[in-house]
Amino acid sequence: SSGLAKTPLTLAFESLAGSRTDAIVVPPGYSAQVLVPWGAPLNDTAPDWSEDLALTPEMQANSVGMHHDGMHAFPLDADSASRRFILAMNNEYIDENALWAPQGGPTNMAEGQRPADEVRTEINAHGITLVEVEKTDNGVWQHVRGSAFNRRYTSATPMALSGPVAGSDYVRTKYSPEGTLTRGTNNNCANGYTPWGTYLTCEENWPDIFIKDEGRETDDDRLGIPTGRGRYGWETAAGDASEEEGEFSRFNATPGGASASEDYRNEPRTFGYIVEIDPYTGAQAVKRTALGRFRHEGCWPGKLVEGQPVVFYSGHDSRNEYIYKFVSEAVWDPADAPVVGAEANRLAIGAKYMDKGTLHVARFNADGSGEWLAVTPDATTADGRTLAEALGLAADDHAGIIIHTCDAADLLGATPMDRPEWGAVDPTSGEVYMTLTNNSKRTEEGSEPTFTGNEDDIAAPGNGYATAPTNAANPRAANEGGQIIRWREGEDQGVFEWEVFVFGAAANDADNLSGLTDSNQFASPDGLYFDERDEGQGILWIETDNGYAGVADATNDQVLAVVPAALQRADGAAAVVSGDNQQALKRFCVGPNGCEVTGIFATADRTALFINIQHPGNWPAGDDATQAASGTVRPRASTVVIQKDDGGIIGV
Ligand code: FEO
Ligand code: CA
Ligand code: CA
Ligand code: CA
């Protein structure tokens, strides 16, 4: 049923062999260059990068942040949209050993008090980087140092709360007794963007920066707020005369005062949201609480239809957590898409579509049907109560429902998924794809999982550690390979149809359900992006973040390209990619040792594909992304631009 009446493109490159080197590999006829690596100076307040640069809080606040993840391009004028734009990029977390390499490592990371300026530098390495980039006449990309568009939003930048949680008792703190403001956004993983020209950045593994030893509430345990010591021990720092109110103590949410307005017990409840940024103005960022509170991987708009609600899809990346859809109350008015280069109050448009609406959570039925369950106070739970009653909340407590989004989803009977990561929407059909990366806690009923993959990426106990039995959408126990699920919306906002699009696996696995071969085997799909082509259905790009040895022993993390309409498949069944279908799913790029490949978009003219290399082990050696170092380098996460040597369109 999908992809009919579309012209499938032919992928005009040979699928790459697997590779395990300190370099990027791209097909013959393509080149890859490094752009805006961690520490690249945004202005003259920050020095040029050097291997022995000892960063200060001020330097890091004026440089590109660390561990690049989701990103998007914001054009400055329509004519140059593919040659010059604001690159908005998430800086998800830090490699403290690379950050503090010149000093021999961080101070007191595991125990004892962290130095205030080290913590300030680490806080400034997180968040979002906005940087103007441009293509020079020789086809090489560079960033514009000193551009007025260059900005950082860090884990300390003041931000507004909006939507149902804003101004509620749940988010009163000593910093904002009214519950309308907070400081910082953290562990921003995947991203999104809106039709009105704003950037969406998504708070994923934020619980790990807090601690809460006493006074814990159900959401603290459900989301995995640690006890004892936070991921980087930020809560242990103590400042000096210049220390702001609660600058470090806000990371310790143990109640210390007589009320919530006298301490930071509620600080973690100001995190876990979709955050909207106007990249053109640098206006105060806004946390849009109506889209739910959990470990948000990313946020993707559905296909826009005039006069219909605007929808956003978001996944909770933890084991056996859920997929969500937000449906706006306001219906789409094309006049709300500002002309490129024109002035507009984009965050006011954001308030119109993202502050009022209904959050839904997905149930995937075994017959291929699906239901979107409204997450509202008066929704009926599986055992016949109202959601508010079942959660012990007042009947009209929408804020409380949002604070306890995951528990609400449990009560509604949503389907626990294999760690939802990125989504992508086919711009032609509106079909939605989402990666389900893997799941060590998926069991055959009554059995213990035997999972060998890398579990380091989520360390906090209590985070998605409950096991769940297999179900139709997540059919493999101890799922190492992951899968990509696809759905089509029904006539109203309440129903959909779904199928598994493709299963990841090692070629020689017994559960290689999609017939992958050495030249396209992959596991742990994560990044996902659908490009748009005038001539028909575009390419779906898949990025991996894999720790499963069955594939990792053969290749580093990678970018694959697939043209869904070119895959011959039986309706309702996952694609089988061997045989004639082998040409429809190809390996396009392999990353350097130690990295994951994440963050992705193509320029509007499809002549450049931008990706991010996160947590590389010994890379980059210089500006040529395909060059391996002869010795050891201080590793730097970086954006990589892949272009054809003849300037042509990527992939074809
Ligand atoms: Fe930060 Fe779910 O990846
Ligand atoms: Ca991810
Ligand atoms: Ca991942
Ligand atoms: Ca990551």
How many other β-carbons are positioned within 10 Å of the β-carbon of residue 592?
29
From the centroid of its chain, how far is CA 621?
27
* Residue 596 CA, ligand 4 centroid: distance in Å: 7
From the CA of 92, give the closest atom in ligand 1: 1
Say what the pLDDT of residue 383 is: 85
- Please name the residues in contact with 343: beta carbons below 8 A apart, sequence gap of 6 or more: none
Q: Please tell me the residue having the least CA distance from ligand 1 atom 3.
A: 189
Minimal CA–CA distance to 439: which of 524, 366, 342, 368? 524
Number of domains in the chain: 1
DSSP letter assigned to residue 505: B
Please identify every residue whose CB atom is under 5 Å from ligand 3, which is an ion.
526, 545
Cα separation of 151 and 283, whole Å?
A: 11
Cα separation of 560 and 520, whole Å?
A: 8
* Residue 92 CA, ligand 4 centroid: distance in Å: 7
Q: Tell me, yes or no, whether 372 lies in a domain.
A: yes
Which run of H or of E encompasses 90?
A: strand 84-91
* Residue 203 CA, ligand 4 centroid: distance in Å: 12
- Name the phi and psi angles at 211, rounded to 5: -130, 155
Peptide bond into 449 cis (omega under 30): no
- Please name the residues in contact with 409: beta carbons below 8 A apart, sequence gap of 6 or more: 321, 322, 324, 361, 373, 375
* Residue 436 CA, ligand 3 centroid: distance in Å: 9
* Residue 167 CA, ligand 1 centroid: distance in Å: 29
From the CA of 317, give the closest atom in ligand 1: 2
- Name the phi and psi angles at 98, rounded to 5: -70, -40
* Residue 131 CA, ligand 4 centroid: distance in Å: 21
Tokens of 397: 């407590």
426 CB burial (10 A radius; 0-12, 13-18, 19+)? buried
* Residue 434 CA, ligand 1 centroid: distance in Å: 13
- Name the phi and psi angles at 121, rounded to 5: -65, -45
Q: Tell me, yes or no, whether 377 lies in a domain.
A: yes
**Whether the Cβ atoms of residue 497 and residue 472 lie closer than 8 Å to each other:** no
Q: Tell me, yes or no, whether 390 lies in a domain.
A: yes
**Whether the Cβ atoms of residue 372 and residue 412 lie closer than 8 Å to each other:** no
**Whether the Cβ atoms of residue 611 and residue 559 lie closer than 8 Å to each other:** yes
Ligand 1 pocket member 596 (CB < 6 A): no
Ligand 1 pocket member 92 (CB < 6 A): yes
Q: Closest ligand to 189 CA?
A: 1
- Please name the residues in contact with 395: beta carbons below 8 A apart, sequence gap of 6 or more: 377, 378, 386, 388, 389
**Whether the Cβ atoms of residue 299 and residue 313 lie closer than 8 Å to each other:** yes
Torsion angle in degrees (nearest 10) through CA of 304, 306, 309, 313: 0
CA distances from 341 to 76, 351, 454 (A): 6, 21, 45
From the CA of 204, give the closest atom in ligand 1: 1
Ligand 1 pocket member 208 (CB < 6 A): no
Ligand 1 pocket member 543 (CB < 6 A): no
- Please name the residues in contact with 313: beta carbons below 8 A apart, sequence gap of 6 or more: 299, 300, 302, 323, 324, 325, 423, 425, 432, 434
Say what the pLDDT of residue 242 is: 83
* Residue 516 CA, ligand 4 centroid: distance in Å: 25
Tokens of 413: 């009977």
Ligand 1 pocket member 204 (CB < 6 A): yes
Q: Tell me, yes or no, whether 580 lies in a domain.
A: no
Q: Tell me, yes or no, whether 395 lies in a domain.
A: yes
Minimal CA–CA distance to 484: which of 538, 523, 536, 533? 523
Q: Tell me, yes or no, whether 409 lies in a domain.
A: yes
**Whether the Cβ atoms of residue 594 and residue 617 lie closer than 8 Å to each other:** yes
Which run of H or of E encompasses 287?
A: strand 286-288
Straight-line distance from the first to the last Cα atom of the chain, in angstroms, rounded to the nearest whole number: 25
* Residue 421 CA, ligand 3 centroid: distance in Å: 7
DSSP letter assigned to residue 414: P
From the CA of 205, give the closest atom in ligand 1: 1
How much is the pTM? 0.96
Q: Output the DSSP codes for 519-576.
A: TT-B-SEEEEEE--BTTB--PEEEEE----HHHHTT--SEEEEE-GGGS---TTS---
Give the chain's radius of gyration (CA, Å).
23
How many other β-carbons are positioned within 10 Å of the β-carbon of residue 467?
17
Helix ranges (H only) for 30-81 are: 57-61
Q: Tell me, yes or no, whether 536 lies in a domain.
A: no
From the CA of 545, give the closest atom in ligand 1: 3
- Please name the residues in contact with 503: beta carbons below 8 A apart, sequence gap of 6 or more: 476, 481, 482, 483, 511, 512, 513, 514, 574
48 CB burial (10 A radius; 0-12, 13-18, 19+)? exposed
- Please name the residues in contact with 274: beta carbons below 8 A apart, sequence gap of 6 or more: 192, 200, 201, 202, 203, 287, 288, 291, 296, 299, 312, 314, 354
Say what the pLDDT of residue 341 is: 86
CA distances from 377 to 287, 294, 310, 328, 529 (A): 21, 17, 22, 17, 34
Q: Closest ligand to 66 CA?
A: 4
* Residue 482 CA, ligand 2 centroid: distance in Å: 13
Say what the pLDDT of residue 452 is: 53
For residue 402, give its domain range. Answer: 361-415
Ligand 1 pocket member 297 (CB < 6 A): yes
- Please name the residues in contact with 160: beta carbons below 8 A apart, sequence gap of 6 or more: 166, 180, 181, 284, 285, 286, 287
Minimal CA–CA distance to 435: which of 543, 597, 357? 543
Say what the pLDDT of residue 6 is: 55
Ligand 1 pocket member 317 (CB < 6 A): yes
Q: Please tell me the residue having the least CA distance from ligand 1 atom 1.
A: 189
Q: Tell me, yes or no, whether 195 lies in a domain.
A: no
Q: Output the DSSP codes for 196-237.
A: TS-EEEEE-SGGGG-B--SS--HHHHHHT--SSS-TT-GGG-
Tokens of 392: 């012990």
From the CA of 295, give the closest atom in ligand 1: 2
How many other β-carbons are positioned within 10 Å of the β-carbon of residue 10?
11
Ranges of residues in the chain with a pLDDT under 70 are 1-7, 446-465
**Whether the Cβ atoms of residue 273 and residue 350 lie closer than 8 Å to each other:** no
Say what the pLDDT of residue 227 is: 96
- Please name the residues in contact with 601: beta carbons below 8 A apart, sequence gap of 6 or more: 71, 72, 73, 529, 609, 610
ipTM beyond cut 0.85: yes
| Max Cα–Cα distance, the chain, nearest Å | 69
Cα separation of 361 and 408, whole Å?
A: 9
